[in-house]
Amino acid sequence: MLNGKRILLIVAGGIAAFKSLELIRRLRERGASVRCVITAAGAQFVTPLSLQALSEDRVYSDMFSLTDESEMGHIELSREADLLVVAPATANILARMAAGLADDLAATVVLATDKPVLAAPAMNVRMWTHAATVANVETLKKRGVTFVGPNDGAMACNEHGPGRMSEPEEIVAAIEGMLTAERPPFEKPPFEKPLTGKRAVVTSGPTREAIDPVRYISNHSSGKQGHAIASALARLGAEVTLVSGPVAIADPTGLRTVHVESADQMLAACLAAGTVDIAVCAAAVADWKAAHPAASKIKKKAGSEPPALELAPNPDILATLSNLGAKPGAKRPALVVGFAAETENLVANAIDKRKRKGCDWILANDVSAAAGTFGGEHNTVHLISAAGVEDWPTLAKGDVASRLADRIALHFSRPPKAEAAE
Ligand code: C5P
């Protein structure tokens, strides 16, 4: 907990600034007060009004504001905090901090502070690996600035690699490490990712059900959402097994991927992953398989009728994992999350599906052609739990994944009482 701790959050200009809004909420949930300073570039990404609404405090941006200076000089601003957090810390603000510049309020505040500083870098992978940034980060570390992240992953600029800002939950964990541990403030915090020690299994992609050795039944799932969820859980420290059907995308780094074809194989691989804390079923499992797949290619015979295809139901992986506790020796994951891809009555059908499958949460998404979810880059989802329905904004699939991973980390960080209310 961060009861009574005062955080001065400096928001610089990067696409990750939207995550700083969530960071403010997380910090306040834990009892901290947050006061924000925003750079001119930062204000291009999030509005001072959003920061003000979430922090319920005045937002500071102007070094030469007579009112601000008379009420709260920039030196006081930096001193009236227990910790300064620069998030997102762009290449530019890190360079200004390293050079000791005081060319705007944000840089001045960091230069004038006698409090510990935490930076959460966020930038394009080439900017992060550039010798100039590497040197600036080294300089700042030597001077006692603590860093959290960046993470590896897909970036807004369509590149892949280190440069993604840490997730709000990771930044909160770093802050808690710095402010609550009994040790000198400038020492590196014993930073733990919030899902460290948790095991997860994630299903992703389509399944492929053989009709004969060359033909199969499948669907359009790209695996993008499931793979992104597996990565996001791994970034937060979980030990992840990704069980993937046939997809055209690469295996994510930092986790184990098991490749399967059919629903039967997918279920077997999930069970073979052993006891897990978290199961996320994002795969688009084929509902039916060929009842009697042919061992050799079914031949076309001139003049004869096309063969009839008899179908048999596939196992329901989500329902099986949700009901694992029923069998002795098999432990149900503490949190089972499914998806409901619907084209109509989205939320009502998903609420019903949650009950039918016996899972804890359902992420409901609209897969009508107009929504462009299948194969697309974005997803608009609603999180359905026993507590009710959370409507999420339209987000890139990577951000849906990060948000889900954050929610899962939050779920496991809550005391058992709060859990029961969900
Ligand atoms: O029943 P429906 O296919 O709509 O349910 C969707 C959810 O159930 C998804 O989370 C999907 O991964 C999971 N599912 C499954 N095994 C099946 C069918 C669906 O795990 N055979």
Structure tokens at 393: 């904004």
Give the closest residue (by CA) to ligand 1 atom 7.
Answer: 339
Quick: pLDDT tens for 17-31: 999 999 999 999 989
Whether residue 193 lies inside any domain: the answer is no
Structure tokens at 411: 């779920």
pLDDT of residue 340: 94
Whether residue 296 lies inside any domain: the answer is no
174 and 281, same domain (yes or no): no
Query: Relative to the CA of 337, which ligand 1 atom is closest?
Result: 10
Active site residue 281: no
Ligand 1 contact via 340 beta carbon (within 6 Å):
yes
129 and 214, same domain (yes or no): no
148 and 207, same domain (yes or no): no
Whether residue 110 lies inside any domain: the answer is yes
pLDDT of residue 373: 61
388 and 243, same domain (yes or no): yes
155 and 40, same domain (yes or no): yes
Average pLDDT over residues 94-118: 95
Question: Structural domain tally of the chain?
Answer: 2
Average pLDDT over residues 122-143: 94
Ligand 1 contact via 11 beta carbon (within 6 Å):
no
Whether residue 190 lies inside any domain: the answer is no
Quick: pLDDT tens for 57-102: 999 998 877 666 666 677 788 888 999 999 999 999 999 999 999 9
128 and 256, same domain (yes or no): no
List the CATH number of the domain containing 205. 3.40.50.10300
pLDDT bracket for residue 329 (50, 70, 90): confident
pLDDT bracket for residue 161 (50, 70, 90): confident
Q: Is the pLDDT of residue 416 over 60?
A: no
pLDDT of residue 378: 81
pLDDT bracket for residue 288 (50, 70, 90): very high
Q: Is the pLDDT of residue 16 over 60?
A: yes
Quick: pLDDT tens for 302-313: 888 999 999 999
Cα 343 to ligand 1 centroid, rounded to whole Å: 15
Give the closest residue (by CA) to ligand 1 atom 9.
Answer: 339
31 and 95, same domain (yes or no): yes
248 and 378, same domain (yes or no): yes
Of 222, 318, 352, best ligand 1 pocket probe by most atoms within 8 Å of the beta carbon = 318
258 and 146, same domain (yes or no): no
Cα 154 to ligand 1 centroid, rounded to whole Å: 26
Q: Which amino acid is at 22?
A: E
164 and 245, same domain (yes or no): no
269 and 136, same domain (yes or no): no
pLDDT of residue 9: 98
Whether residue 211 lies inside any domain: the answer is yes
Contacts of 398 (CB under 8 A, 6+ apart): 153, 154, 228, 232
Ligand 1 contact via 318 beta carbon (within 6 Å):
yes
Ligand 1 contact via 314 beta carbon (within 6 Å):
yes
Whether residue 382 lies inside any domain: the answer is yes
Cα 249 to ligand 1 centroid, rounded to whole Å: 21
Whether residue 122 lies inside any domain: the answer is yes
Quick: pLDDT tens for 187-245: 334 445 889 999 999 999 999 999 999 999 999 889 999 999 999 999 999 999 999 99
Give the closest residue (by CA) to ligand 1 atom 4.
Answer: 340
Ligand 1 contact via 281 beta carbon (within 6 Å):
yes
List the CATH number of the domain containing 175. 3.40.50.1950
Q: What domain range includes position 378?
A: 199-290+304-421
Query: Relative to the CA of 287, which ligand 1 atom is closest?
Result: 21
**Mean pLDDT, all residues of the chain:** 89
Of 281, 322, 359, best ligand 1 pocket probe by most atoms within 8 Å of the beta carbon = 281
The highest-confidence range among 177-181, 192-196, 315-319, by mean pLDDT, is 315-319
3-state SS record for the chain: CCCCCEEEEEECCCCCHHHHHHHHHHHHHCCCEEEEEECCCHHHCCCHHHHHHHHCCCEECCCCCHHHHHHCCHHHHHHCCCEEEEEEECHHHHHHHHHCCCCCHHHHHHHHCCCCEEEEECCCHHHHHCHHHHHHHHHHHHCCCEECCCEEEECCCCCEEEEECCCHHHHHHHHHHHHHCCCCCCCCCCCCCCCCCCEEEEEECECCEECCCCCEECCCCCCHHHHHHHHHHHHCCCEEEEEECCCCCCCCCCCEEEECCCHHHHHHHHHHCCCCCEEEECCECCCEEECCCCCCCCCCCCCCCCCCCCEEECCCHHHHHHCHHHCCCCCCCCEEEEEEEECCCHHHHHHHHHHHHCCCEEEEEECCHHHCCCCCCEECEEEEECCEEEECCCEEHHHHHHHHHHHHHHHHHCCHHHHHHC
pLDDT of residue 153: 75
Where is the domain boundary, 149, 180, 211?
180
Whether residue 194 lies inside any domain: the answer is no
Q: What percentage of residues in the chain have a pLDDT greater than 70?
A: 91
pLDDT bracket for residue 421 (50, 70, 90): very low
Q: Is the pLDDT of residue 422 over 80?
A: no
Q: Is the pLDDT of residue 410 over 50?
A: yes
pLDDT of residue 284: 96
Q: Is the pLDDT of residue 138 over 50?
A: yes
Ligand 1 contact via 263 beta carbon (within 6 Å):
yes
374 and 416, same domain (yes or no): yes
Cα 351 to ligand 1 centroid, rounded to whole Å: 14
